[in-house]
Chain A
Amino acid sequence: MSFDINEYYSRLNGGDVLMAFKGSISSELISNVLEVVESKMDEYSESSKIRKKVYNVLVESLQNLYHHIEVLPDEMQKMFDDKFGILVVSRQDDKYKISTGNFIGQDKVDVLRNKIDKINSMTREELKDMYKFILNHQRLSEKGGGGLGLVDIARKTGNQLDYTFEKFDDTYYFFNLDVFIDL
């Protein structure tokens, strides 16, 4: 049986959910999500330090989705919106959790897995050096992505990036990333 997106999505909807979305990740959607989450954080009277961290990490998470979502083959486009992605922002007693999910070609799984494992193995100082190196030496892609998003998230949260790759079919996996921001 292949990976069940709906089952997975409903499983993410635990805790105090500020925002849950599945569908097309567009620039407008990103603007709307940021606005909603920002006003919800006001309701929680979060400190400006936490609000800034969550906002920053949310921007990077969403724009990572936006830049890296793949064009799906025709038969999958019948099942999923164009630029299909999942986002759930929730608040637990001691932390915020930002979950994102998107399809990824099987051929790219190892590269991404290795990149995240490497980031997770690094100290704060090493992450800072890596960030500065990429900042200073790598050009922006045409789409505007710079390969800095995950490093920035790891630096700002100080937490491990939790991820899974679930097999969807012979060519696609579903990549789930959970990012935690301590309160």
Chain B
Amino acid sequence: MEALSIEGTAKTPSVKFDGQEGVIEIKGRSIPENSIEFYKPLVEWLEQYSGSPMDLTQVNVQLEYFNTSSSKCILDVFKKLEAIHKGKSEVIINWYYEEDDEDMLEAGEDYESIIRVPFKMIEIVE
């Protein structure tokens, strides 16, 4: 299936979803006033991908900031991944956070406690 690629802006993250490689990346800032619009194509892409996923899907989430409006949409993305993980294929979510950013680590742990997919917390050391 076709890859999904979106350039980042001051308020929205860059997105690279590659179905052939089974690699999904969200990076940057996610602080739009209305996040539903932005995340809709991401959720739709995953919906399609879940029909024939790779044996292993690696998910890299490396956000500098995200607002509470995005937090629900990110959960929707993770719920799609959870559905894939429940099937025959494996999903791993790599959650990146900067070394002194306890809030971002805690946000990752919040998701980890809600979503039944293995998380790997990865500290970025400058």
Contact = CB atoms under 8 A, between A and B. Distances in A.
B82 to A, nearest CB: 12
Contact of A135 (B33, B75, B98, B100): B75
A82 to B, nearest CB: 16
B36 A49 contact: no
Contact of B69 (A31, A52, A63, A156): A63
A20 B67 CA distance: 22
B21 interface: no
A60 B36 contact: no
Q: Which of A59, A128, A138, A149 has the most CB of B within 10 A?
A: A59
B33 A149 contact: no
Nearest to B9: A31
A49 B101 contact: yes
B86 interface: no
B65 A59 contact: yes
Interface in A44-82: 47-49, 52-53, 55-56, 59-60, 63, 66-67
B100 A131 contact: no
A140 B34 CA distance: 9
B124 to A, nearest CB: 11
B35 A144 contact: yes
Interface string A83-110: 0000000000000000000000000000
Given A48-B101, A59-B31, A143-B34, 6 more contacts: A47-B100, A49-B101, A56-B65, A59-B65, A145-B69, A152-B68
Interface of A: 27, 30-31, 34-35, 47-49, 52-53, 55-56, 59-60, 63, 66-67, 128, 131-132, 135-136, 138-140, 143-146, 148-149, 152, 156
Interface of B: 10-11, 31-36, 64-65, 67-69, 71-73, 75, 98, 100-104, 106, 110, 113-114
Q: Which 3 A-B pairs have the closest CB atoms?
A: A144-B34, A148-B68, A49-B100
16 contacts: A35-B10, A47-B100, A52-B65, A52-B104, A59-B31, A60-B67, A60-B68, A135-B71, A135-B110, A136-B114, A140-B35, A140-B69, A144-B35, A146-B69, A148-B68, A152-B68
